[in-house]
Chains A and B, each alone.
Chain A
Amino acid sequence: MSPATATPRAVSELYFRHTLAIRLMHWINVIAFSLLLMSGLQIFNAHPALNWGKSSYNGQPALLQMDAQQDAQGRLVGITRVFGYAFDTTGVLGASVDVDGRSSARGFPAWLTVPGPQWLSMARRWHFFFAWLLLINGVSYVLYSLAGRHLMRDLVPTRRDWRSLGQSLRDHLRFQHPHGEAARHYNILQKLAYLAVIFGLFPLVIVAGVAMSPGMDALLPGWIDLLGGRQSARTLHFIAAWLLVVFVLIHVFEVAVSGVWNNLRSMVTGRYRISLKEAEHEHT
């Protein structure tokens, strides 16, 4: 073995990254968002089409539509139309195997919806329960982050962050992540992504969801026209939900490439390990 003096000491430190409240709210969000997505897709299946405007029947074709048709052999074929272009999506969209094992006409497949079988009233119960949970959790998070200065300290980009934008982009594209001291802070892309989700996508998905409520529409007659009308609000709700899915996919991917266990530990126990090895090495 090499002499002790030549071995760079693997110095690492567990630092406290996430408070208990943040960790709790993160996992509540995971559960609530997953169930909202899946019950939402079940609700979508009751009318698997998206329109733009004040109503579904305004003389304009649907932006997105999923249908099932029977082919010459009597088999169900799923057709998805996007902006008028038709795609055969049999097995996934329009027609897929239901919980009972039979091919059936349904927008999204059973493995993406809660409940699995077509059951609108039950999906609505799941959806509204977890909508309240998500709303209360989200408002708590924003208030907590403002009061505890988490927002200003950890999420709002500094001037130095903005200057590192180009470098951060290059790092992300090469799947490289900050080590050592730099890992104590979120990088600029991370901050922007979190802020866009917290103050952009979540508020949009909630407001567009509320805009579909005939009761809430009476609050100030015509307010939902700011979103383009009721069916536009339904379309925006759908798009915002899928953009949140895109965020989750990127988020989970970044977790995977920057250390699954370290990231998971920090979101469970709060402690994130940073390696100070390189800093030590420079001194020797």
Chain B
Amino acid sequence: MSEIINQSLTELVENVKNKKLSSTDITKAFIERSEKSKELNAYITEDFTSALDKAKKFDQKPNLDLKLPGIPMAVKDLFCTKGIKTTAGSKILNNFVPTYESTVTENIWNEGAILLGKLNCDEFAMGSSNETSFFGNVQNPIDKNFVPGGSSGGSASAVAGKLTPITIGTDTGGSIRQPASFTGTVGLKPTYGSCSRYGIVAFASSLDQAGPMAQNVKDCALLQEVISSYDPKDSTSIDFERNHYSKELTNNIKGKKIGIPKEYRVDGMPKEIEELWQKGIQYVKDCGAETVDISLPHTSYALPTYYIVAPAEASSNLARYDGVKYGFRASGENLIDMYEKTRSEGFGAEVQRRIMIGTYVLSSGYYDAYYLKAQKVRKLIKNDFDAAYKKVDAILTPSTPSSAFKIGEKTNDPVSMYLNDIFTVPVNLAGLPGISIPAGHDSKGYPLGLQIIGKAFDEQNILNIAFAMEQKINFKNKIMDWWIK
């Protein structure tokens, strides 16, 4: 048996079920690893003592029928956790302790998992490098002073660095897939409506979706099976028949038609990305699938559309952080003064920028030109996918236009930062599932990901394709534990 922290979730579950490992063994190992990994700054809040207690309690009366029996897990700090501080990476929620649990985390604990702590993320999930967090930037385990991507940067770093066997993130425009790509891990953004948004601090309601982040596709399928549920508490949750994704996982994708959209070949894209994509095409062919050249003609409008829709919703969603009811409050001369000081001091620069953009595009006189137009374009983007799916079963693209970059490299250039999400945002706008799997390394040895986009509710299909490709790619993450002294 290999070292605990090097085991996949699937292996750990198996070893618990076979009584080769106890929950306490596993929990201790990941706590120890986490303790040694402070330099990654992956955690905002640690809950180790309580995690060990829970593990011991589990071991006293282990329920081995559960899907995640006694498995410790840290989660993104955007999920409200009962009795545990939940900050969304923001000063404005620095002191906020929810009295309730998000549906997604509730589902996880109901299957026997144990909370290790809350993972760092960009403030209110707004960012692509985890540099907007009030709690400081997160290190990418692949190399010192490289960003892990964002907004689920802490989650990606924690999985890649083996601080947690698996985790969950949220993805509004790429926040699971881009950090997965940057850290050599697997990240799935499910179909909009698959995972309940109840209890997740909202960024852009029509785009937000929780999803698993894992070391491999099978782990990812198992967690997706746990977190996806119909929830009447979320009006946008969809009641559809959910697969047993991990049980039904197969590498047989013979005869599947995989679309290759020409619009994802963008100007200035590094040659390495193009080469990786071509390799990916070869892999799926090797697996017996067929590739088809397709067109998604409105792709180039996706990013500007996203940067209207998401800030518009965010500007309204974040209005509740006003210092009146909970969270940070600055003192002021009067109500308006208190609002202004609270929100100026409580929100960071990127969040303020997006609130400003969102407020602007919704103002009377600009609404039609921006928000309404963006909604129309959004429909066109969705139509592009609908048309493509008449011909193909899934679509293969690069996950990101580059590999991980240096901390600080893009902080003063928001547009270049936003370009990180160019391949991921169309999927959110169309409400489709997308998975990023590690597919190779660039010349510096940093991981690069490929994205498989599916039809709505067709998670099983893209998991299968990813599973088949994973076996062909046989990716090995080159993590040298540089932060362990």
A binds B: no
